[in-house]
Chain A
Amino acid sequence: MSNNYVNDFPILQKTMNGKRLVYLDNGATTQKPLSVINAVQEYYASFNANPHRGAYELSVTATQIYEDAREKVRKFLGAEKTSEIIFTKNATESLNLLAYSYGMTFINPGDEIVISIAEHHSNIVPWQQVAKAKGATLQYLYVNEAGILTDEEIEKKISSRTKIVAVTQVSNVLGIINPIEKIVHKAHSVGAVVIVDGAQSVPHFSVDVKVLDVDFLVFSGHKMLAPMGVGVLYGKEQLLDKMPPFLSGGDMIEYVWEQDTSFAPLPAKFEAGTQNVGGVLGLSAAIDYVEKVGFSNIEQIEKELIHYAIPKLQQLPFITLYGCEDLSKKTGVISFNVKDIHPHDVSSILDADGIAIRAGHHCAHPLMQYLGVNATCRASFYFYNTREDVDALINALGRVRGVLGYGS
């Protein structure tokens, strides 16, 4: 049985290879509801102009649209001020902004930057760059066999040498929710700032930056119904204020002289050049849609789906699951392997049934090395997925080994 949400998503009405599209790659990107598609289309049909630059009505409207969206994001994240919301193009750019502006400025030789082994490459590589350039050390928080970050590990790795702790709130490979409160508590007790990668959390449950007391948080709009090309950086005002600009040029200045420039105040200081206003309006419509569905509902649906899917997968003797021991701290992400079959073959074979899952290393090489696997399959749900989607997955998985000549 499909749910009503599906009707709002044009792409989910499509057939793939003659089969209903079963989209289970929401960790990579989500599909877009008509309201988001229409918002972007309406922006270009009716409101397009360069914001902040013109004294004519259209430009004023575009500016208004852009700044209204910022206010919506502020409320959505529970931030105190709109100046603390910076638009970027994605989580990756937000993390690079932090590495290059905060990291390169405030990290000194001998300092430690702490990240977890379950990070996406976008929260590893920029910190490696900072550590190399500044003579600092990159320390890893390792998860236990169940994929969980323990209190002991947090206590052990975060020390007086730690200046930055950058962790993902939810692992994109395992879907496991990390204990951000504990990490923040420990990090703040040693004077370190905490950067949270919310790429896999913000779309799936309510995240309040003030309640968590995180210093920075990033996410990508496209993983939460919004168009690609819009991301967000939240940062505490007093920290953003003391950071130098990341990119420089138009819109981020106050005055420019021949040899010097005074920078615009927040948030413009970090938004050089013409921004993706249409995309930002799409993000605004996405937040409206998500709030209409409601996070308690989203969490409930995803929980039901994994509680339905995981026991079924456990019944298949040829399936190995990763990070599925404790379902209480988990979003709708399931990583698994099919005995003897490489994830890419699994993915291609499921594709023939119209089922889209991710196969590979999920941009998390260090975690894969740590788990001792070369690659995994990943099914990741969003609220528009249904039990019917899970059934389709389970049925198709039953056929995979046979296609390559293995018995079941």
Chain B
Amino acid sequence: MDLSEIYTEIIAEHNKSKRNKKQMENPTVILKGRNPSCGDEIELALKVEKNIIQDASFTGVGCAISQASTSMMIDLVRGQTIEKAQLLIDTFLGMIKREITEEEQLEILDEAVALQNISNMPARVKCAVLSWHTLESAITTEEGKTSESSQSSH
């Protein structure tokens, strides 16, 4: 294993940057994601309005891989529709599982492609996917809420 393939500059940078790591005022959904086996714990906050993720941020502790993965994910989904976020999640998880390998398909992941080599480090895969699974659950929660509220408004 070549360390520089895993701990790339982009990952180091996102790990250090606190840009997306902050409390959010008035989020519409907050969800905790945990890796019990290693103690990583993040809290993801989303502000979803009219099917669009207006803002996203996170707090919590974790390794560089999980912190950077979360930060990159937030950059990607901010301002996107729920459907686009889901596509990003599917693509990212597909990349980590090596089910999606074509560059063209991975293009939408932008910087997050830097995490592709994590699939060579089985012990660290769960660090990379933690926030993405959390986002997926958060979206589901959010969708549940809107379908409920739209049902009740009918």
| CA gap between A368 and B61 in the complex, in Å | 14
| CA gap between A149 and B115 in the complex, in Å | 45
B13 touches A345 (CB 8 A): no
Residue B127 at the chain A interface, CB threshold 8 Å: yes
CB nearest to B15 among chain A residues: A404
| CA gap between A344 and B16 in the complex, in Å | 16
Min distance, Cβ A222 to any Cβ of chain B, angstroms? 19
CB nearest to A341 among chain B residues: B64
Q: Which residues of A from 365 to 383 have beta carbons under 8 Å from B?
A: 368, 374-375
Min distance, Cβ A284 to any Cβ of chain B, angstroms? 33
B63 touches A345 (CB 8 A): yes
Min distance, Cβ B42 to any Cβ of chain A, angstroms? 12
Among B7, B13, B121, the most chain A Cβ lie within 10 Å of the Cβ of B7
0 or 1 for each of A345-373: is its CB under 8 Å from B? (1 = yes) = 10011011000000111000000100000
Residue A189 at the chain B interface, CB threshold 8 Å: no
0 or 1 for each of B141-153: is its CB under 8 Å from A? (1 = yes) = 0000000000000
- A residues in contact with B38, CB < 8 Å: 344, 359-361, 375
Q: How many residues of B contact A (CB 8 A)?
A: 25
B62 touches A348 (CB 8 A): no
Out of B1, B16, B123, name the residue touching A405 (CB < 8 Å). Answer: B16
Residue A403 at the chain B interface, CB threshold 8 Å: yes
Residue A17 at the chain B interface, CB threshold 8 Å: yes
B124 touches A405 (CB 8 A): no
CB nearest to A340 among chain B residues: B16
Residue A161 at the chain B interface, CB threshold 8 Å: no
Main secondary structure of the interface of A (DSSP, over half): mixed
Min distance, Cβ B5 to any Cβ of chain A, angstroms? 10
0 or 1 for each of A373-408: is its CB under 8 Å from B? (1 = yes) = 011000000000000000000000000000111100
0 or 1 for each of A269-288: is its CB under 8 Å from B? (1 = yes) = 00000000000000000000
Residue B12 at the chain A interface, CB threshold 8 Å: yes
Among A345, A368, A375, the most chain B Cβ lie within 10 Å of the Cβ of A345
A348 touches B13 (CB 8 A): no
Out of B2, B61, B64, name the residue touching A345 (CB < 8 Å). Answer: B64
Q: Which residues of B from 13 to 63 have beta carbons under 8 Å from A?
A: 13, 15-16, 37-41, 61-63
- A residues in contact with B13, CB < 8 Å: 405
Q: Which residues of B from 105 to 132 have beta carbons under 8 Å from A?
A: 121, 123-124, 127
Min distance, Cβ B15 to any Cβ of chain A, angstroms? 6
- A residues in contact with B15, CB < 8 Å: 404-405
A360 touches B12 (CB 8 A): no
- A residues in contact with B16, CB < 8 Å: 404-406
Min distance, Cβ B79 to any Cβ of chain A, angstroms? 28
A368 touches B39 (CB 8 A): yes
| CA gap between A361 and B9 in the complex, in Å | 28
Min distance, Cβ A252 to any Cβ of chain B, angstroms? 34
B123 touches A374 (CB 8 A): no
CB nearest to B3 among chain A residues: A352
Min distance, Cβ A367 to any Cβ of chain B, angstroms? 12
Residue B6 at the chain A interface, CB threshold 8 Å: yes
| CA gap between A368 and B2 in the complex, in Å | 32
A405 touches B12 (CB 8 A): yes
B39 touches A374 (CB 8 A): yes
Out of A341, A344, A352, A404, name the residue touching B127 (CB < 8 Å). Answer: A344
Residue A20 at the chain B interface, CB threshold 8 Å: no
Residue B65 at the chain A interface, CB threshold 8 Å: yes
B1 touches A17 (CB 8 A): yes
> With contacts A348-B123, A349-B3, A352-B1 known, is A360 near B37, CB below 8 A?
yes
B3 touches A403 (CB 8 A): yes
A405 touches B39 (CB 8 A): no
- A residues in contact with B127, CB < 8 Å: 344
Out of A341, A344, A375, A406, name the residue touching B124 (CB < 8 Å). Answer: A344
Out of A345, A359, A375, name the residue touching B65 (CB < 8 Å). Answer: A345
| CA gap between A351 and B124 in the complex, in Å | 12
Out of B1, B3, B63, name the residue touching A344 (CB < 8 Å). Answer: B63
B124 touches A403 (CB 8 A): no
0 or 1 for each of B57-97: is its CB under 8 Å from A? (1 = yes) = 00001111101000000000000000000000000000000
**7 A-B pairs with the lowest CB-CB distances in the bound complex, closest first:** A405-B12, A342-B63, A344-B63, A352-B3, A345-B64, A361-B39, A375-B39
Q: Contact residues of A with B, CB < 8 Å?
A: 17, 341-345, 348-349, 351-352, 359-361, 368, 374-375, 403-406
Q: Contact residues of B with A, CB < 8 Å?
A: 1-3, 6-7, 9, 12-13, 15-16, 37-41, 61-65, 67, 121, 123-124, 127
A–B Cβ pairs within 8 angstroms, 20 of them: A342-B61, A342-B62, A342-B64, A344-B65, A344-B124, A345-B63, A345-B64, A345-B65, A348-B3, A348-B124, A349-B3, A352-B1, A359-B38, A368-B39, A374-B39, A375-B38, A404-B12, A404-B64, A405-B15, A406-B16
Instruction: Name 13 extra pairs, CB < 8 A, besides A345-B7, A403-B3.
Output: A342-B62, A342-B67, A345-B65, A348-B3, A348-B121, A359-B38, A361-B38, A374-B41, A375-B38, A403-B7, A404-B15, A404-B64, A406-B16
